[in-house]
Amino acid sequence: MRVALAGLNHKTAPVQIREKLALRSDEIPAVLLGMQALGAKEALILSTCNRVEITAALDEEMPADSLFDAVLHQRSTISLEAIRPHLYIYENGDAIRHLFRVAGSLDSMIVGEPQILGQLKQAYAQARDQGTVGTVLDAVISRALHVAKRIRSETEIGQSAVSVSYAAVELAREIFGSLAKKRILIVGAGKMSEGAARHLLRGGASEIFITNRTHERALEMAGLFHGQVIAYESYPQRLAEMDIVITSSAAPGFVLTREMVRRAIEVRKHQPMFLIDIAVPRNIDPFIDGLEHAFLYDIDDLQRLTDQNLRARREVAEQAEAIVREEVGRLEARLRERDVAPTIVSLQEQLEAIRQEALARYKGRLGLLTADQEQALEALTRGIVNKIAHGPISEMRRQAALQKTGEEVREAEFVTAVRRMFRLR
Amino acid sequence: MSVIWLRTAAVLYACGLLYALIYVFWKNTRLFLPAMLAFGAGTVFHLVSIVELWTDTGHLPLANFYETSSVCAFLIAILFLLGYTYYRIAIFGVCIFPLVFFMTLIGATEFPVAPWSSPAIRNVWLTVHVATVLIGYATLTFAAVASVYYLLQERQLKRKQVMPSANRLPPLATLDRIISVSMNTGFVFITLATITGVVWAFIEDGTNWIGNPKIAFFLFTWAFYLAMIFLRISAGWRGRRIAWLAVGVLGCSLVTWATHFGLRSFWLK
């Protein structure tokens, strides 16, 4: 059994590709089951704005590059050929390291942003609900969550306020100067837009309007920020009043079309509008960028701008990388110990069977035994068997743990020798 | 006698011009009704003047540029009044009031007046003219510089190359405000300069002033400026287009300026 991970993220694939592959959370169960049908022993899917990644436990025959087959079954608009250049595939130690880095927010667009941990937890819960998490992924993911916690508490990675939302606020200042009295519309109340709203409020904005398909969620968020709720049906009519629009809706299709924005700008007498699209798939028609007074930034644009501010954070990230290296080593050792576990179990079973057989054979010749004698005999035979087993078992564990990181996990020669010696299956 | 009526009309039209300038700055429409009444009264005097000139000379007063300018101004005024009566389009006033005033003012310079009563008045008048021109050009230059910054900043934002924190250009909205305030200020001064300039040239050169190309170009620059202000206010032109127009008006002003010095030195030979 080996751990394999295939995926693409904001570094390897542009938003045009990511938005075609991104899975809604209601699509994931079907894909997980599809993967099981294709032969994966265990599987987990992490799909966020910035990445689509599949982690799986595979047996030796199944190739890792077939991991995306089940996703592509669901997506007729894109082929494996189209995504192959953007795809990365890791196995074993590399897969574990990548997953740890993702969990610890070292691989995030905004290094250190905390949302990814929640997204990973959610992916884990979802896979567990579908029954596609077994002992291997269970060990890997729970360790990944532990690593994330360690990184957060032992380094300062989450401290400085550099984020996509922050970049959005800075850009708003480039356009409007002061944010005071600027009206902000949030379409789609989610974690990302919540972050943006928080930053804008801190930046001096006061009037926040929220619209969401589920009215309750909008009310909830409005309560958080003292904002006003606009009915989802009527936000297009009120667009002209808004200076800044942030979209992070899961709605299919564009929530803002070019025509809507063109008309709004006309009504606003050509005062500028700042449109921030943090959704993947994108919520705002990219052609709106051609309108003179509309300034449209999608998540990739914001990333480019934040990249340079992230240098300082990268240094902190080095400490975090050290934690990852340490933890990967530990988990790998443990997983390899687990690899020899079947051999250990069958060795123990084999010796136990020999013991039982011998006892049964000689019981008759010993005549009637007292309970004490019976117990002594049991202890004697058990002791001999355990003594014999101890050497091979501890040596097998040691050898497994010693195997170097990154080396292909092959059944160690020593294990093979033990199996032969004791005639194990 | 007709020229008296025409000058009275010009003074009444000046109320409309005043309203237009106030509106450009403060978007204040309370003065629209008084301005409209003065404008209406102006057209009555204007009509009287035209009819009197007609009966005096025995033919339609379309004999020269001054008379055609006056009649044309009258027709524009009548059309505006009719348009306003039927469609209530007040916004045209911002453009029509100054235009009618200037055309009438030109018409009123058909007959020469007595030369300057004293050289002191002449000098003061000339100083006022030059000062208003220079203040107008200065604010216009400021608007044009802000426009260039605007175009740069806008381009950066569109190309998504803005480096928040590293970028040293002022915010777009601030630049827009600077452009509109300095452009409005410039317009007021250039308008005053045009009035003083026309009157000065008229008194100085008599009825020949209109043939002077540098003055014609000055009037053209002013009309260009008026068109820009009108587009900004009525059609809501902002941003890139207004920025380019501001640069264009500054270019025209520089040419006007150059012609003044060039021609003056040429004539002195």
Nearest-angstrom CA–CA distance, A75 and A18? 12
Is residue A338 included in any domain, yes or no? yes
Kindly state whether residues A141 and A87 are assigned to the same domain.
yes
Same structural domain, A47 and A190: no
Residue A221 confidence (pLDDT) above 90: no
Distance from CA of B193 to the nearest CA of A (A): 31
User: Cβ of A293 under 8 Å from any chain B Cβ?
Assistant: yes
Shared domain check, A194 and A144: no
Is it the case that residue A146 has pLDDT exceeding 90? yes
Q: What is the pLDDT of residue A259?
A: 93
Which has the minimum average pLDDT: A371-385, B124-138, B200-214? B200-214
Beta carbons within 8 Å of A348's beta carbon, 6+ residues apart: A389, A393
Q: Chain A contact for B118, CB < 8 A? A: no
Cis omega (within 30 of 0) on the bond before B112? no
Put simply, the answer to whether A304 touches B173 (Cβ < 8 Å) is: no
> Tens of pLDDT along B65-105?
888 888 899 999 999 999 888 888 778 888 889 999 988 88
Residues of chain A neighbouring B164 (CB-CB closer than 8 A): 167, 170-171, 173-174, 305
> Are residues A270 and A211 part of one domain?
yes
Strands A244-247 and A273-277: parallel
Contact A171 B237 (CB under 8 A): no
**Which among A154, A179, A208 is the end of a domain?**
A154
Mean pLDDT of A32-61: 89
- The mean per-residue pLDDT over the stretch A93-100 comes to 92
Distance to chain B for A39, nearest Cα, Å: 45
Instruction: Tell me whether residue A35 is in a domain.
Output: yes
Using CA atoms, how far apart are residues A279 and A246, in angstroms rounded to an integer? 9
pLDDT for position A163: 64
Q: Confidence band (pLDDT; 50, 70, 90) for A309?
A: low
Name chain B contacts of A175, Cβ cutoff 8 Å: 157, 171-173
Q: Last residue of a domain, which of A154, A184, A207?
A: A154
What letters, b where the CB count within 10 A reaches 16 and e where it falls short, cover B99-125? bbbbbbbbbbbbeeeeeeeeeeeeeeb
- Residues A6, A149 within the same domain: yes
Indicate whether A118 and A181 sit together in one domain. no
B162 in contact with A at a CB cutoff of 8 Å? Answer: yes
- Taking CA–CA distances from A271, the nearest residue in chain B reads B238
Q: Could you tell me what percent of chain B has a pLDDT over 90? A: 15
Mean pLDDT score, B202-207: 75
Q: What is the 3-state secondary structure (H, E, C) of chain B?
A: CHHHHHHHHHHHHHHHHHHHHHHHHHCCCCCHHHHHHHHHHHHHHHHHHHHHHHHHHCCCCCCCHHHHHHHHHHHHHHHHHHHHHHHCCCCCHHHHHHHHHHHHHHHCCCCCCCCCCCHHHHHHHHHHHHHHHHHHHHHHHHHHHHHHHHHHHHHHHHHCCCCCCCCCCCCHHHHHHHHHHHHHHHHHHHHHHHHHHHHHHHHHHHHHHHHCHHHHHHHHHHHHHHHHHHHHHHCCCCCHHHHHHHHHHHHHHHHHHHHHHHHHHHHHC
For chain A, what is the mean pLDDT? 85
For residues A61-80, give the mean pLDDT.
83
**Which pLDDT score, from 0 to 100, does residue A142 have?**
92
User: CB-based contact (8 Å) between B151 and chain A?
Assistant: no
Residue A54 pLDDT > 90, yes or no? yes
pLDDT of residue A407: 52
Strand order through the sheet with A294-298: A228-229, A207-211, A183-187, A244-247, A273-277, A294-298
Q: What is the pLDDT of residue A199?
A: 80
Annotate chain A with three-state secondary structure.
Answer: CEEEEEEEECCCCCHHHHHHHCCCCCCHHHHHHHHHHHCCCEEEEEECCCEEEEEEEECCCCCHHHCCHHHHHHCCCCCHHHHHHHCEEEEHHHHHHHHHHHHCCCCCCCCCCCHHHHHHHHHHHHHHHCCCCCHHHHHHHHHHHHHHHHHHHHCCCCCCCCCHHHHHHHHHHHHHCCCCCCEEEEECCCHHHHHHHHHHHHCCCCEEEEECCCHHHHHHHHHHHCCEECCCCCHHHHHHHCCEEEECCCCCCCCECHHHHHHHHHHCCCCCEEEEECCCCCCECHHHHHCCCEEEEEHHHHHHHHHHHHHHHHHHHHHHHHHHHHHHHHHHHHHHHHHHHHHHHHHHHHHHHHHHHHHHHHHHHHCCCCHHHHHHHHHHHHHHHHHHHHHHHHHHHHHHHHCCCCCCCCCCHHHHHHHHHCCCC
| pLDDT value at residue A354 | 92
Segment A88-93 shows an average pLDDT of 90
- Domain holding A32: CATH number? 3.30.460.30
CB contact under 8 A, B239 and A171: no
Domain range for A182 is: 164-309
Q: Is residue A325 part of a domain?
A: no
pLDDT given for residue A223 in this prediction: 86
- The verdict on a CB contact (< 8 Å) between B164 and A305 is yes
Name the residue among B153, B173, B240 with its Cβ closest to that of A292: B240
Residue count (chain B): 269
Using a CB-CB cut-off of 8 Å, the residues of chain B touching A309 are: 165
Asked if the Cβ–Cβ distance from A305 to B163 is below 8 Å, we say yes
In this predicted structure, the answer to whether residue A281 has a pLDDT above a threshold of 80 is: yes
Asked whether residue A274 falls in the same domain as residue A367, the answer is no
Residue B166 pLDDT greater than 60, yes or no: no
Mean pLDDT of chain B: 83
Q: Are B174 and A297 in contact (CB < 8 Å)?
A: no
Distance from CA of A175 to the nearest CA of B (A): 5
**Structural domain contains residue A140:** yes
Which pLDDT belongs to residue A95? 92
Does residue A49 have an active-site annotation?
yes
Which of A291, A338, A386 is closest to B239 using CA atoms? A291
Chain A interface includes B248 (CB < 8 A): no
CB pairs under 8 A between A and B: 55
Separation between Cα atoms, residue B22 and residue B268, nearest integer Å: 40
Nearest chain A Cα distance for residue B176, angstroms? 9
| In a domain? residue A150 | yes
For residue A380, pLDDT over 70 is answered with yes
Query: Which whole number is the average pLDDT over B36-42?
Result: 91
Q: Is the pLDDT of residue A162 over 70?
A: no
Residues β-bridged to residue A186: A210, A246
Is residue A159 domain-resident? no
Restricting to A residues 326-385, those with a Cβ less than 8 Å away from any Cβ of B are none
Q: Do B157 and A295 touch (CB under 8 A)?
A: yes
- Please judge whether B239 and A270 are an interchain contact, meaning their C-beta atoms are less than 8 angstroms apart: yes
Same domain, A150 and A168: no
Q: Are strands A88-91 and A51-58 parallel, antiparallel or unpaired?
A: unpaired
Cα-trace Rg, chain B: 21
User: Does residue A287 sit in the same domain as residue A231?
Assistant: yes
Q: Does B163 touch chain A (CB under 8 A)?
A: yes
User: Which of A114, A115, A101, A146 minimizes the C-alpha distance to A5?
Assistant: A101
Task: Identify whether the C-beta of residue B139 lies closer than 8 Å to the C-beta of residue B185.
Answer: yes
Tens of pLDDT, residue by residue over B218-234, are: 888 888 888 888 888 87
Position A311 confidence tier, pLDDT thresholds 50, 70, 90: low
**CA A236 and chain centroid, separation:** 35
How far off is chain A from B242, nearest CA to CA, in Å?
A: 11
Indicate whether A28 and A115 sit together in one domain: yes
The pLDDT of residue B67 is: 85
Question: Do A141 and A244 sit in the same domain of this protein?
Answer: no
Query: How does residue B135 score in pLDDT terms, banded at 50, 70 and 90?
Result: very high
- Flag whether residue A309 sits within 8 Å of chain B, measured between CB atoms: yes
State the Cα–Cα distance between residues A113 and B74, nearest whole angstrom: 70
Share of residues in chain A with pLDDT > 70 (%): 93
Tokens representing residue A180 in the block: 């005071």
Question: What distance in Å separates residue B18's CA from the closest CA in chain A?
Answer: 25
pLDDT at B116 over 90: no
* Nearest chain A residue to B240, by CA: A292
pLDDT of A310 above 80: no
Q: Does B119 touch chain A (CB under 8 A)?
A: no
Which of A154, A174, A192 is the last residue in one of the domains? A154
Task: Find, among B11, B50, B24, the residue nearest to B181 by Cα.
Answer: B24
Residue A256 has pLDDT above 50, yes or no: yes
Evaluate whether residue A316 is within a structural domain: no
Whether residue A213 contacts residue A251, with contact meaning beta carbons closer than 8 Å, is answered with yes
Percentage with pLDDT > 90 across chain A = 31
At A90 the pLDDT is 92
> pLDDT for B46-61, tens place per residue?
999 888 888 888 888 8
B158 to A270: CB separation less than 8 angstroms, yes or no? no
> A172 at the B interface (CB within 8 A)?
no
pLDDT above 90: residue A355: yes
Residue A311 sits at the chain B interface (C-beta within 8 Å)? no
Q: What is the CA radius of gyration of chain A?
A: 29
Catalytic residue among A22, A45, A49, A197: A49
Tracing tokens 């909008």 back to the chain, one arrives at A218
Quote the tokens at residue A305.
């701008």
Single out the residue of B64, B66, B65 nearest to residue B3, CA to CA: B66
CA–CA separation, A413 and A402 (whole Å)? 13
pTM over 0.80: no
Are residue A81 and residue A114 in the same domain, yes or no?
Answer: yes
Q: Which residue has the higher pLDDT, A56 or B121?
A: A56
The domain tally of chain A equals: 3
The yes-or-no verdict on residue B110 having pLDDT over 80 is no
The pLDDT-based confidence of A258 (bands split at 50, 70, 90) is: very high
A317 occurs within a structural domain: no
Chain A hits for B166, CB-CB cut-off 8 Å, are: 308
What is the mean predicted confidence (pLDDT) over B243-247?
A: 88
